[in-house]
Structure 1
């Protein structure tokens, strides 16, 4: 009994202050993250708050050792308004920044962020791949998703790929000004992400997110599965693994 209590305390400390696992539940961060990816986040990068602790236990007032995320960081956070669900998005704007979308182009502090067309993002169709029929193709007799892909580069030099599937309401917005103590977060899958472009609503947008809600920074994929495995058939755990995604950093 004493051993189990000590083990629980150690696990609590590690998950609260050092590392924590996170699984990807949606395609909002494609192409960088896919449903079925499992990753580790580090907890010390931006300081600590109640949301650093399991279940958001209110033992930490405000933020301790606070630091502002860098633009381009991928972070896990408690989603407004209820702060009950964990979401993962990319930091686009930090306090004092202005953010706007115009015709699918990202503008930061009034300047267009370079957006370069690159090769389509191609992924095999699987149980863990959401793929609109319009973007399905057959490659080597196998069905795949082929999405238009672009490379964005932020003023600090951080580059990453985004998906832009067409014209949506989120392609044109007003100008958002990020207040002190907050961050503007967006999904890399720009047409399939409920993010800071939308008002905070349970199960919908998240608004501009308080830095206190951020739990940690995504650092590495430690596993990925295409969803085709069956628990009672252990050999399918290996065939379903996306081995090429394991070990990818951010």
Structure 2
């Protein structure tokens, strides 16, 4: 039986092996770098899409008590009113027309073309008294407004402590940022926001 022997690779064979190892390392590094770039691009795309369709806001003050509380963080859908019109009872975030740099959050009470009156401590739409179970005290003011084709009347649920349409007038639709959708902080208030649905209102005969 012949003894087993090991042959040393020739210089040319050794060079080929080193080149193969170098190529494998190069392609491996390129694959890792590509994965990192693709992950970053995907993260950026998701971030841009989410921020285009939604916004995150903090409730400041007590103008929406008892429905919303100071310090709550909410998600606002910017897509909702591209698909449908704002509805009475919706809670919305908007740029106020009174010159304030802060965004406001209120509830839609009057719709385009309606006549809004505040008297006897209540809201009247086209002569019909609006029943609002989410407020806890009557309004300490009076007034009357005729809304234009693209104007909304918004009020805070805390009627005695809110800067809203009763003090600075109707809200143009173009000022609306979106529909308040979800509270994500603090944990005890986590969940969808309570939008109220009213029955249809007709002109008083």
Q: Same fold (TM over 0.5)?
A: yes
Gaps of at least 5 residues in structure 1 are: 48-64, 115-151, 153-159, 200-206, 225-242
Which structure has the larger Rg? Answer: 2
Name the residue aligned to 2:47.
Answer: 11
**Aligned equivalents of 2:97, 2:130: Cα separation in 1:** 27
* Residue in structure 1 matched with residue 120 of structure 2 by the alignment: 103
Which residues in structure 2 correspond to 1:176-191 (within 5 Å)?
176-191=145-160
Residue 244 of structure 1 and its aligned partner are, at CA, apart by: 3.0
Q: Are 1:83 and 1:213, in contact at CA under 8 Å, matched by a contact in 2? A: no
Question: Of 179, 189, 193, which residue of structure 2 is paired with 1:245?
Answer: 189
1:196-229 CA-partner distances (Å, limit 9, x unpaired)? 0112xxxxxxx211111111111121112xxxxx
Cα distance in 2 for partners of 1:180, 1:40 equals 28
Work out whether 1:163 is the aligned partner of 2:136: yes
Structure 1 runs (4+) greater than 4 angstroms displaced: 1-9
Q: Which residue of 2 aligns with 1:229?
A: none
Following TM superposition, by how much is the alpha carbon of 1:103 offset from its aligned partner in structure 2, in angstroms?
2.5
Equivalent-residue separation in structure 1 for 2:56 and 2:118 (angstroms): 32
1:208 matched residue in structure 2: 170
- What residue number does 1:35 align with? 70
Higher percent of residues as helix: 2
Q: Is the 8 A contact 1:98 1:178 kept in 2?
A: yes
TM-score norm. by structure 1 comes to 0.57
Using structure 2 for the length normalisation, give the TM-score. 0.69
